[in-house]
A = this chain, B = another copy of it.
């Protein structure tokens, strides 16, 4: 890789001249005192030894971030069982008891559900002499993470916020981007940015956060290096976290951290069994992954298989979080029968009544012609308002990208659906028994400021289908090319008729 060629890192020997260009770490559990000594000898450590020292002691880390005004769960050092009990009285139970040092992948954490469990929790962590502290239980609804890169010039860039899902305290699934309100995402990004700015040195940092039930974002901990929560960036972002770390420590401009695919999901391959059987299970999973669209397999080739050990990971990228989640479910389905990726509808065609179907079928015909997967449903705003509510508010997370809604008369369906989803909604005014469709048209098109409906001509579901294809073409040049071809073919049709008219004259054209 070109970046790696820019710096030459040779082993450092105390008896020789320092030859190391830049020293960085891939794990924070290193000897911080040695790093400090190296810095005194002129070695360029990125991030700085001071950062490693702060981060490798989780209690020191909390004190540090707390001093810098970063919101985090309440915590307290404990030196003996009495201190632990006092903390329990103050913070309540369950109570997190944590080792200050060498805590990693759930090691160094123990939960005391009651005051009686405190001594066993302390014992499980090796006793007070290893250095313990307690943390108030954070009643989180989601765990979030932000990869933050800081360059040598102090430029800072944040990757999109992801959701991390843990299994027995070990990261298991990462969803990118997290499906959270935009404001929560901004809050998480701001906290992550601030936390990294309080530390010294360049590099990539992973900031892990809690989202609490009441919408608070609290810092959990920071890792001063590329991190499991950023592995998806290899396939999904313009710049992977690994390239970004090299850019940062070397002093190159930081790369764009945004996603080049709309969504990604990362699944850690954790050891399920010791030994051979564990390898067999992992191989079976990877074998299935080979058939999943957008899945990339990373196998770390570790010599030994242990339960819960991270042996590799699989990242699936795709056009929406709904899509990649469906792909992951297909991958994990035990039978493996559903393994061939299920076709995910991209367009929802809905209508107020089955009497609209003779009109609305034309939208389906167009989508068939363009090979766009879709679903057709009857959803009435007036007669099944609860179904309509559920359909509209879940459409996005199910992977639907465009909704076509047809209705007649006091045609409320398109507008109501548009008010319940951020997706683009196309309205088809269906001509009812009176007023020649003008009622339907005005009911659909004259939406108030704030909620748009893309309205097409009365009864013209063909154009609704074509409009959906054009919208999907925003992220799909092949669809746009097919649309251009469709326009070309339409032109040919008209020209053929024009030529026939010119050849035969208008009278024989009308009476063949």
Contact = CB atoms under 8 A, between A and B. Distances in A.
Nearest to A240: B296
Nearest to A236: B260
Given A255-B290, A294-B260, A450 B473 contact: no
A5 interface: yes
A101 to B, nearest CB: 34
A278 interface: no
A452 B455 CA distance: 9
Given A450-B466, A456-B447, A262 B182 contact: no
Determine chain A's interface SS by DSSP, over half rule: mixed
Interface stretch (A17-25, A116-124, A313-321): A313-321
A312 interface: yes
A263 B478 CA distance: 10
Contacts of A424: 467, 470-471, 473-474
Given A182-B485, A183-B485, A262 B477 contact: yes
Q: In the complex, which of the residues A160, A260, A441, A483 has the most CB atoms of chain B within 10 Å of its own CB atom?
A: A260
Interface in A384-406: 396, 401-402
A466 B452 contact: yes
**Identical copies in the complex:** 2
A484 B319 CA distance: 18
Contacts of A464: 452
Given A256-B293, A472-B474, A456 B454 contact: yes
Contacts of A485: 181-183
Contact of A290 (B247, B422, B423, B450): B247
Contact of A463 (B423, B451, B462, B463): B451
A177 B2 contact: no
Given A291-B253, A457-B446, A419 B474 contact: no
A284 to B, nearest CB: 13
A256 B455 CA distance: 36
5 contacts: A3-B297, A252-B290, A253-B290, A262-B477, A445-B456
Given A181-B485, A447-B463, 15 more contacts: A3-B297, A180-B481, A182-B478, A182-B485, A238-B293, A238-B317, A253-B290, A260-B294, A422-B487, A448-B457, A451-B463, A452-B466, A452-B467, A454-B454, A475-B475
